[in-house]
Structure 1
């Protein structure tokens, strides 16, 4: 099976992202920073706050689903607010996570929830915004192979990516939701834009339940592309159970640049 995780950056570099997604041949695709259009919308909208001014696909979830017609799709909304079209008209938009599973795989269990906060229906608001998580158990009926996959988008803190009490709680909630579907009985993958530094105490917590960081294991020193201009190069991680550490191939390619984050690609 192939598992891919990427912070999709709202589809800001859609001309590169679309053909890359279409060519992936992926079994389980986990995307963070995914938009969904709850109302009829133009193709592009604009998100602006004190830290960012971003052009975003209005319905990245629908866009990706159209590229993957042979996949089941699941969306987890964290927030709903208004974005602006090119005429300055406010349009409602949702922001969260997307998960796609190849249709021939059986989805035997699925769960989603929050690692921070709850759904915010009335605007983006102050940081930290709510953060969602998705977990799925799949089985290939042809081979009997099963896999548990989860992903989440970690808290963004303008002061940095260091350990905080909120991030400790986030890790505890992530572990609780993941373990609700994974009892260490099958191989497992937990990925996403964790917004953590490599020496975060969170990784010791994950290791205690048998999930190990492939970024550290493979000595990856950069999970960002040249589209990201800041010096801190870590954000994205993929953790695996013991049985996948040696029995899989892991890649964090720098090309093509489909986001300001690099994709995490695991072939099992």
Structure 2
């Protein structure tokens, strides 16, 4: 089974990302920063937050579903805010998506918020609402159940330091995952956590019996040349004792986002 985790950057580099997804064709894709704008057929809209202006693929969720036709796509909105078509306001949903190959039946799933709650009319003040999603699938080849969970950790404008809110979201992530995961389930937890490698978030997950893969395999971080700030770690993938890691990579080339895909084969 091949599991990929990626912050999709709102589809900004979709012309490189979609061919990459087609080629890699992961069995389970955990995708953060997903845009879903069913009220428009526009290809591109613009996100504006003060001086931060970013092109967004208007129907990024649909774009990814199109290149993964043999997968079930599940979109989990964290908020609905405004994107712009020149001077026209367009309501657009933003959140997570999970894509699961149809040959792996989804026998249970759960989604919930790890910070704040659903914001229905605007993206809100930073740090904004954040959610998580977990699926339990049956792997017929290995005759077992596998739980895969991911979240997009809150973004604090002051940086990636430990905060009480980040500790709470890590605990909520574990609580949500534990509702789905039973004693003998193989478990993978991943996402753009927006924290440093020595963070309390990773310590909380480690105390829950999980082993983090990124920091044991690279010192380069998980951000590529598209990302101009100094801190290069953001994304993590953890596994429990029932996971036999056949291969794990942080993908620096091709650049399909300002984050690197995390690619796990179990």
Q: TM-score range by the shorter chain?
A: over 0.9
CA contact (8 A) 2:25 2:68 kept: no
Report whether the alignment pairs 1:113 with 2:121.
no
Instruction: Give how far 1:141 is off.
Output: 3.0
Q: Which ranges of 4 or more aligned residues in structure 1 deviate by more than 4 Å?
A: none
CA contact (8 A) 1:2 1:27 kept: yes
CA distance in 2, matches of 1:135, 1:221: 28
- Measure, in 2, the Cα distance between the counterparts of 1:100 and 1:11: 16
1:256 and 2:254 are equivalent in the alignment: yes
| Contact 2:209-2:240 within 8 A present in 1 as well | yes
CA contact 2:28–2:101 (8 Å) conserved in 1: yes
Secondary structure at 1:243 match in 2: coil
1:47 aligns to what? 47
Q: Distance in 2 between matches of 1:255 and 1:5?
A: 15
Contact 1:113 1:133 in 2 (8 A): yes
Q: Which residue of 1 aligns with 2:230?
A: 231
Superposed displacement of residue 126, structure 1: 1.1
Looking at structure 2, the residues matched to 99 and 117 of structure 1 have their Cα atoms a distance apart, in angstroms, of: 21
Deviates more, 1:51-60 or 1:230-239: 51-60
CA RMSD of aligned residues (A): 1.2
| Contact kept in structure 1, 2:245 and 2:264, CA below 8 Å | no
CA offset at residue 234 of structure 1?
0.6
CA distance in 2, matches of 1:108, 1:241: 20
Specify every segment of 5 or more residues in structure 2 that has no aligned partner in the other structure, as ranges: none
Q: For 1:60-71, what aligned pairs fall within 5 Å after superposition?
A: 60-71=60-71
Which residue of 1 is the match for residue 206 of structure 2? 207
Do the aligned partners of 1:41 and 1:91 also contact (CA within 8 Å) in 2? no
After TM superposition, the score normalised by the length of structure 1 is: 0.96
Distance 1:144 1:38 in 2: 38
- Give the Cα–Cα distance (whole angstroms) in 1 for the partners of residues 161 and 141 of structure 2: 44
Q: How does 1:1-268 map to 2 (within 5 A)?
A: 1-50=1-50, 52-85=52-85, 87-244=86-243, 247-268=245-266
Contact 2:72 2:100 in 1 (8 A): yes
Task: Give the Cα–Cα distance (whole angstroms) in 2 for the partners of residues 254 and 112 of structure 1.
Answer: 30
Secondary structure of 2:236's counterpart equals strand
Distance 2:245 2:68 in 1: 27
1:156-201 CA distances to partner (integer Å, 9 max, x unpaired)?
Answer: 0010001000001111100100111112312110000000110011
Structure 1 residue 51, shift from structure 2 partner: 5.3
Structure 1 residues 257 and 266: CA distance shift in structure 2, 3 A: same
Q: TM-score, normalised by structure 2?
A: 0.97
Shift of 1:142: 4.6
